Amino acid sequence: MKKPTRRAAVAVGAAAPAELRLADAPMSDIIDALAGGRATASALTKAYLARIAAYDRGGPMLNSVRALNPDALTIAAKLDDTKPSARRPLAGVPILIKDNIATSDKQPTTAGSLALEGTRARADATIVKLLRKAGAVILGKANLTEFANILAVDMPSGYSSLGGQVKNPYAPALMGKHDIPLVQPGGSSSGSAVAVAAGLCAASIGTETSGSLLHPASRNGLVTVKPTVGLISRAGIVPIAHSQDTAGPMTRTVRDAAMLLNVLAAKDLRDPATERQRRPADYTAGLAPDAMKGARIGVPSDPDDPLNDCYYGKLPPDGAKVMTAVVEVLEDLGAVIMRANMPTRGWIAGPGTNMAVLNRNPLSSNKGNPTGSPIVFLYELKHGLNLYLQDWATNTDIKTMADIIAFNAAHAEKALRFGQDLFLAADLTKGDLSEREYKSARAMDLLAAKTRGMDAYMNQHKLDAVLFPGAMGAAIAAKAGYPSVMVPAGFVSGADGKDTPDYPLGVSFAGPAWTEHKLLRLAYAYEQASNMRKAPPGLAAL
């Protein structure tokens, strides 16, 4: 397999100030150092490149950065005399973006696919334009699960045929002859998450359709915001399903996530979903330690109804212990805890929403058996991906999903380690979203997840937010198009019956559309009281 092109990272010139501790520094501290003249964009960029060389390319070889921006140091040098301000709040801040987000510079946009190796974009994605306008240094592209984990059933998170396997920095061991992570690095935005956790950038941008921000944030001890669909433009992002896709920030603190949301949340004529956007002037306003007082928090768990306790009832003992401690902190902060199961009808994957896809993954223990996959994802995938290839992709002969399937089949040894069963299923659809089964599935998703799920639960108990362990609430919130905020909550260990080092478990606060500001305030209060984030071991300052 041809190894991905990677530009060597060499630290030269001035170092970043030691007091910043780049291995674990919040983005807000980095901005303060830049504003105060204690750091420059060039020094920070060089320092992060050195950490990438030491820990992503060397040492544990985390493999979270698929490719570096060859112009990163040039961009940084031009920003050395520009300090962060209200107009350019991220001036000089090095940020990684997931490699399914288009950039019109020298960096290809590949979604981790060999079929798209060398593919460039006609223009910057809208969120990249906003980051550049705010003064960010685009450090490079983060590795990801190929095509955001819609290529094959049972593909390990963080694997792409072009970029290889991302490792969890808390438990980086791979197992067996196939070198699959024992502790997965999370959902498809795993490279974005691992890079932030390991201190390889100030912050990063990932994307989610259902869990791809929340899961890696949970597994890597990070904060993320999975926004309301329409808060952040998707224009220029390789799609899965337009009804659920969104981008979001990956950071070490709630304040950092709020600061990035200030930059990213903007209306965009290229994404009609943003037309109905509602947002405050400043997401950092009101972040206070006492913001939890009097908040009504739903805990969808009723021990008296164990068969219906689908979010908490099957937690392993260490996960249950973490969540018990979380609830105790919330109560100490003055929250009103409402314990009640979600209505059974709120469960996702209900009648008419899934279709059976034959599992052709040669490394899957379930090979040869049908696996349920969301109808909405597969039908919207072909429609959206073909439009992206038509409207955004250049420097490639790949024009349709069928072209990708054909390329992969012709290069199966390198491109199809885990197969492409989901692409094969998606390509059988018309691609114009005219089918009745698609429309019915989308209506059923909204009925189950939104009307009879989140809406019914929150209205019945008059809730400000719903509390979920890790990313377990990702699907029901995502299908409703609702926001979630993840914050570190503790540590667990063990996977597939095997012992592992401790790795993080987060907790997510979910709520109705456009309530990101409220959820951030609640998450901030919990974060300040619990202080549960700890950096991965063995990745010390250089």
The residue-averaged pLDDT of 222-229 equals 98
pLDDT tens digits for 245-303?
999 999 999 999 999 999 999 999 999 999 999 999 999 999 999 999 999 999 999 98
User: Quick one: pLDDT band at residue 164, thresholds 50, 70, 90?
Assistant: very high
Comparison of pLDDT for 367 and 6, the residue scoring more: 367
Phi, psi of 242 (to 5 degrees): -65, -20
Geometric angle at alpha carbon 135, from 134 and 137, rounded to 5°: 130
Active-site choice (46, 98, 226, 518): 98
pLDDT exceeds cutoff 80 at 10: no
Long-range contacts formed by 299-307: CB under 8 A, 24+ apart:
299/327, 299/337, 299/338, 299/339, 299/340, 299/467, 300/340, 300/341, 300/342, 300/457, 300/466, 300/467, 300/468, 300/473, 301/339, 301/341, 302/339, 302/340, 302/341, 305/341
Active-site choice (204, 212, 233, 508): 212
pLDDT of residue 177: 84
Q: Is the dihedral of CA 483, 124, 166, 487 positive or negative?
A: negative
pLDDT tens digits for 416-467?
999 999 999 999 999 999 999 999 999 999 999 999 999 999 999 999 999 9
CB contact at 8 A, 132 and 93: no
Q: Is the dihedral of CA 15, 17, 23, 27 positive or negative?
A: negative
pLDDT tens digits for 457-514?
999 999 999 999 999 999 999 999 999 999 999 999 999 889 999 999 999 999 999 9
The CATH number of the domain covering residues in 18-275: 3.90.1300.10
- Cα separation, 407 vs 420, whole angstroms: 11
pLDDT of residue 34: 97
User: Quick one: pLDDT band at residue 193, thresholds 50, 70, 90?
Assistant: very high
- Cα separation, 407 vs 107, whole angstroms: 22
Active-site choice (188, 218, 233, 301): 188
- Cα separation, 437 vs 226, whole angstroms: 28
Has 98 been annotated as catalytic? yes
User: Quick one: pLDDT band at residue 11, thresholds 50, 70, 90?
Assistant: very low
- Cα separation, 274 vs 247, whole angstroms: 13
Q: Which residue, among 520, 455, 458, 516, has the nearest Cα to 487 in the 3D structure?
A: 520
Q: Is the dihedral of CA 112, 113, 116, 117 positive or negative?
A: positive
Residue by residue, DSSP assigns 76-90 as HHHTTT----SSSTT
Please, what CATH class does the domain formed by 296-347+444-530 belong to? alpha beta
Mean pLDDT estimate for the chain: 94
Two structure tokens written together for 133: 């306008």
User: Quick one: pLDDT band at residue 13, thresholds 50, 70, 90?
Assistant: very low
Distance of CA 351 to the CA centre of its chain: 28
What are the start-end ranges of the H helices in 24-177? 27-35, 41-51, 72-78, 126-133
Geometric angle at alpha carbon 267, from 78 and 230, rounded to 5°: 115
Max Cα–Cα distance, the chain, nearest Å? 63
Amino acid sitting at position 20: L
pLDDT of residue 542: 85
If you ran DSSP here, which 8-state letter would residue 538 be given? T
> What are the extents of the domains in the chain?
18-275, 296-347+444-530, 354-439
pLDDT tens digits for 36-92?
999 999 999 999 999 999 999 999 999 999 999 999 999 999 999 999 999 999 999
Has 293 been annotated as catalytic? no
If you ran DSSP here, which 8-state letter would residue 232 be given? B
pLDDT exceeds cutoff 90 at 314: no
pLDDT of residue 22: 87
pLDDT of residue 7: 35
The residue-averaged pLDDT of 326-341 equals 97
Residue by residue, DSSP assigns 458-492 as HHHHT-SEEEEETTTTHHHHHHHT--EEEEEEEEE
Two structure tokens written together for 53: 């060389």
Geometric angle at alpha carbon 68, from 170 and 212, rounded to 5°: 50
pLDDT exceeds cutoff 80 at 350: no
What are the start-end ranges of the H helices in 337-492? 375-391, 401-410, 412-415, 421-427, 436-445, 456-461, 474-480
CB contact at 8 A, 199 and 30: no
pLDDT of residue 5: 39
CB contact at 8 A, 79 and 137: yes
Q: What pTM does this model have?
A: 0.95
**Whole-Å CA distances, 176 to 49, 97, 167:** 31, 31, 15
Q: Which residue, among 496, 482, 470, 532, has the nearest Cα to 216 in the 3D structure?
A: 470
